[in-house]
Structure 1
Amino acid sequence: MLDPLPDWAPSLTASAVALLVVDLVVRLTAIAVVPVNRRPSSALAWLLAIFFIPYLGVLAFLLIGNPKLPRARRRKQREINQLILDSTRGLDQVSTCASWPPWLPGIVELNRNLGSMSLVGGNTAELFGEYDESIRAMARTVDTAATYVHVEFYIMTLDPTSAPFFEALRRAAQRGVRVRVLLDHLGAIRYPGYRRTIRFLEGAGIEWHPMLPVQLHKLKYQRPDLRNHRKLLVVDGDVAWIGSQNVLDRSYNKRANIRRGLQWQDLMVRLEGPVVSGVDAIFTTDWYSETDELLESERPEVSPGKTPGRLECQVVPSGPGFEGENNLKLFNALLYSAQRRISITSPYFVPDESMLNAITTAAERGVEVELFVSEHGDQALVHYAECSYYENLLRAGVRIHRYPAPYVLHAKHMTVDEDVAVIGSSNMDMRSFLLDMELTLMVCGRDFVADLRRVEDGYRERCTELTLQQWMARGRGHVIKENLARLTSALQ
């Protein structure tokens, strides 16, 4: 005769059944919810995380599973997009449309539909690739300000390297110029000197606001890794700066970086002409999003008779405030349009499937494609994810040039044939496509492309080219790290 069940057995059985039911409901719900409006690779990665580590997977999905900003911020973005469309239609008349390649008008229209910005002519652009000189040159631009200065950087920290720029801001404020500063909340607070920087701005009478602040104490939750990654400076609506560089020492003042001797290598561009109003409109958008103050009255009128140069430029904003992936669509359109040569520089190269196909297809149809990356990255996970794509690229015929340590090649730009270049804050990775607010500039003009090609020639002289034979000889441990990093990169 069997022994009777213990008194606690029925309750244990009921608990087990309840857990099984909850587990089943979670899995079925995940299958129904996770893939909605999400690329298949990302959906699969999230489902695997939820199925294999269900509690942690569900918690992570609830915290960072939504790649869009809150509805109120997206509504503001739509409002100001319409304002930009209404106020810049006349800028189309500035463009000369001279000597365009036949595929370019379609890309211009794509950018206009996605980001609300027109292509405008009559601009000049000057490149600055020396780190400290870029900061000093931006300071000199601020010293010319008579009306206003708009500053927006992912990271701004007062230190000996950046002090000339901060002192120029203080001088501008002291002579009555309206100085406004935006800096990313989490981007800036992670680096030494944040409190000192804020004290300086407030002591100088400079109005500043954190972008996308994390405000859990106000019960306002948004995905904390949705960040504003843009870098721009506008003075009086006459001069603008954009590019890849933040405002701090090129070691980023972190002990680990200093110990490794890491030095950031960046590229900035100084702009004059009608395109400056487009860059200023991006600042206006972000200022409105953070303060509810619309700076429409300060937007300068564009006069075709006062255009200083011959370059055609188009500002392309992107980020989780937009419905689509504006920068990714621009990059892919250019990759498929190229006929002769593509040169890409990106510090964090983690393409999605569509971009990987566009790049390898370009190489396989006979376009000369080269990629400039850092030999050693500052972020191990991203670096190994990037490395996981090298074999596919090399087999397709893409030439990979690795910039030597201890420098981190942080510049972000691309040249296509002899006609078109893009430069700005956007990396070619899924974070920049989906999670970060970015600013990209498309430039049509052979003179500027030639200038940027000379910068790329300088990279090539310093770089070591990676061959397929060398890459296939790497260790098995390296391959395992690449595979794991590539899997986590899909969790967007």
Structure 2
Amino acid sequence: MNWTSIAINIGIVLYILTILAIIYTIILENRNPVRTLAWILVLVLVPGIGLFFYIYFGMNYRKIKMFSMKGLGDFKWLQYMSEDQKQRIKKAELLKKEDMEAVKPLMTLLLNNSKALLSRNNTIEILNNGEATFGSIFKAIAKAKKYIHLEYYIIDKGELGEKLKELLITKAKEGVEVRVIYDDVGSWKLPKRYIKEMKAAGIQIFPFLPVRFPLFTNKVNYRNHRKIVVVDGDTGFIGGLNFADRYLHGLPGIGIWRDTHLKVKGEAVTSLQVVFLFDWYFVRQELLLNKTEYLPNKKVDGNVVVQTVASGPDSDWTSIQQAYFTLINMAKKYVFISTPYFMPGETTINSLKTAAMSGVDVRIMIPYKSDSLLTHWCTRSYVEELLEAGVRVFQYRKGFNHSKVIVMDGLVSSVGTANMDIRSFEQNFEVNLIIYDRNVSRQLGSDFLDDLKGSSEISIHRWKFRPKRDKIRESLARLFAPLL
């Protein structure tokens, strides 16, 4: 036997031992039995490729705590504040008694699963398209006196990207501190020249979890999908719109981009700031959370109660998924859901079907046309079982509806960056505002009903007789749901 044969045999033995070790680890993680068996079969039956897919898509980083609050750990003050607020919830100090009783479970859940602090003195302005959103953001940035903190999944070259760059450079030259975090995969089209110009002007700009090909890393599947702007600790923005021209002008063949963003003033801006500063520490290793100038906790003449919930593989729980699940189960009258991508997983879809079968008016709005064919067909694969349970499903036809909104009984609503899909629940870093306010929730509900006027409701009788080729596409696309 020559040395080549010996090396090959050693390699085979090492590979088998690696696969056995991974299978042992998967079994001990006590995952869903179906997913456990699926991964074991992939590893055994598809040598090499199966190992590749497991490393990049199958490892449970929440279980192994790879990110662990992204290297920073919990702050004692955050723990103290969350415990203090649990006591305030028990005393029903935040809302009217009848409203407080209805929302206590959700408030307490989010304090427990993500230490999502409640804030009381806030105002919220709903921004329903790119023109209103970017106009408001640029106006706030132009007025900045101390600092601008901006965190986005996508910053792209083009009209919006150039305007953002020039405005930030202007503010930096005026002496305003400018910090920018962009996702390295979401913003992969961003030219190096763009970044160099910003750095040359004194802007601190850094990528989140950089991926360098061909040195492919297992971080490619864990992306920062957050969209946060904080100006002087006074004004904040959060929602679904990225800095790319399609979010302003729409897409050819699909139409205008319909989205929902929020402008926030008050104490909730500090909570958005905390999320940004955690991420800043991760990308820059610079601790700013202990500096009071970045945590001003400004109050305004408003009484909107808000809870800012962040979710990602750095947290012990799928916080936003649990929030959605609880919102649906709390509903007594109705639940309105607008999401561009609907691949929710078994737990969430069962809660929707249970609510509808219990007499709750459950309505889901999805796009008629999508910016992604695979997610489009995967979303469609869930429609039939929803219709059979009495859920009403609508397809938005006046462009592409990218809003991520839930409204429950006109009492509580959620707006943020998380889609109703497995990627948002388990893999991406996301952030949502849970809003405990009847006026804001009713306005969001009214906007939803307005969008229904530009939508078509799916009939279960027609849907069942859709072309067989469509059913095949849907079923095949659904196989990729955990990766989309």
Does residue 64 of structure 2 align to residue 73 of structure 1? no
Structure 1 residue 157, shift from structure 2 partner: 2.1
For the 8 Å contact 2:410–2:445, the answer to whether it is kept is no
- Paired with 2:160 and 2:8, the residues of 1 have a C-alpha distance of 62
Residue type at the aligned position of 2:437: G
- Secondary structure of the structure 1 residue equivalent to 2:362: strand
- Paired with 1:81 and 1:483, the residues of 2 have a C-alpha distance of 45
For the 8 Å contact 1:46–1:491, the answer to whether it is kept is no
Residue type at the aligned position of 2:230: V
User: What's 1:175 paired with?
Assistant: 174
Does residue 404 of structure 2 align to residue 408 of structure 1? no
For the 8 Å contact 1:89–1:118, the answer to whether it is kept is no
Does residue 458 of structure 2 align to residue 466 of structure 1? yes
Residue type at the aligned position of 1:133: A
Residue type at the aligned position of 2:441: V
Structure 1 residue 408, shift from structure 2 partner: 2.1
Structure 1 residue 139, shift from structure 2 partner: 0.5
Structure 1 residue 202, shift from structure 2 partner: 2.1
Q: Which moved more, 1:276-285 or 1:20-29?
A: 20-29
Choose the corresponding residue for 2:266, options 265, 273, 276: 273
- Paired with 1:188 and 1:220, the residues of 2 have a C-alpha distance of 17
User: What's 1:317 paired with?
Assistant: 310
User: What's 2:288 paired with?
Assistant: 295
User: What's 1:236 paired with?
Assistant: 232
For the 8 Å contact 1:349–1:386, the answer to whether it is kept is yes
Q: 1:17 to 1:90 in 2, by over 3 A?
A: closer
Choose the corresponding residue for 1:390, options 383, 396, 400: 383
User: What's 1:449 paired with?
Assistant: 441
Does residue 416 of structure 2 align to residue 424 of structure 1? yes
Q: 1:408 to 1:77 in 2, by over 3 A?
A: farther
Q: Percent of aligned pairs with the same residue?
A: 28
- Secondary structure of the structure 2 residue equivalent to 1:149: strand
Q: Render the CA deviation track for 1:66-124: whole Å, top value 9, x for unaligned.
A: 14278563154562454533567777879632242523112111111122222111111
- Paired with 1:395 and 1:115, the residues of 2 have a C-alpha distance of 35
Q: Which moved more, 1:448-457 or 1:200-209?
A: 200-209
User: What's 1:439 paired with?
Assistant: 431
User: What's 1:331 paired with?
Assistant: 324
Structure 1 residues 205-284: aligned runs within 5 Å? 205-214=202-211, 221-250=217-246, 260-284=253-277
Q: Which moved more, 1:158-167 or 1:478-487?
A: 158-167
TM-score by length of 1: 0.87
For the 8 Å contact 1:82–1:116, the answer to whether it is kept is no
Does residue 479 of structure 2 align to residue 479 of structure 1? no
Q: Which moved more, 1:16-25 or 1:261-270?
A: 16-25
Q: 1:259 to 1:420 in 2, by over 3 A?
A: closer
Does residue 177 of structure 2 align to residue 185 of structure 1? no
Structure 2: 5+ residue runs without aligned partners?
A: none
Q: Render the CA deviation track for 1:157-209: whole Å, top value 9, x for unaligned.
A: 242134443333222212111010000011101x3x43343134224321111
Residue type at the aligned position of 1:228: N
For the 8 Å contact 1:101–1:419, the answer to whether it is kept is no
Aligned length: 474
User: What's 2:367 paired with?
Assistant: 374
Q: Render the CA deviation track for 1:296-351: whole Å, top value 9, x for unaligned.
A: 21333436xx4321110000000111111111111101111111000001111101
- Secondary structure of the structure 2 residue equivalent to 1:103: helix
- Paired with 1:453 and 1:221, the residues of 2 have a C-alpha distance of 42
- Paired with 1:389 and 1:423, the residues of 2 have a C-alpha distance of 23
Does residue 141 of structure 2 align to residue 146 of structure 1? no
Residue type at the aligned position of 1:211: F
User: What's 2:154 paired with?
Assistant: 155
- Paired with 2:118 and 2:410, the residues of 1 have a C-alpha distance of 18
- Paired with 1:415 and 1:81, the residues of 2 have a C-alpha distance of 32
- Secondary structure of the structure 2 residue equivalent to 1:271: strand
What is the alpha-carbon root mean square deviation over aligned residues?
Answer: 3.2
- Paired with 2:283 and 2:8, the residues of 1 have a C-alpha distance of 49
Q: Determine which structure has more spread, i.e. the larger CA radius of gyration.
A: 1
User: What's 1:4 paired with?
Assistant: none
Structure 1 residue 412, shift from structure 2 partner: 0.4
User: What's 2:133 paired with?
Assistant: 134
Structure 1 residue 24, shift from structure 2 partner: 7.8
User: What's 1:110 paired with?
Assistant: 109
Structure 1 residues 46-125: aligned runs within 5 Å? 46-68=39-61, 73-76=67-70, 79-86=73-80, 96-98=94-96, 99-125=98-124
Structure 1 residue 415, shift from structure 2 partner: 0.3
For the 8 Å contact 2:309–2:319, the answer to whether it is kept is yes
Structure 1: 5+ residue runs without aligned partners?
A: 1-6
- Paired with 1:188 and 1:322, the residues of 2 have a C-alpha distance of 24
Residue type at the aligned position of 2:443: D
- Paired with 1:135 and 1:252, the residues of 2 have a C-alpha distance of 8
For the 8 Å contact 1:316–1:326, the answer to whether it is kept is yes
- Paired with 2:94 and 2:65, the residues of 1 have a C-alpha distance of 39
For the 8 Å contact 1:135–1:165, the answer to whether it is kept is no
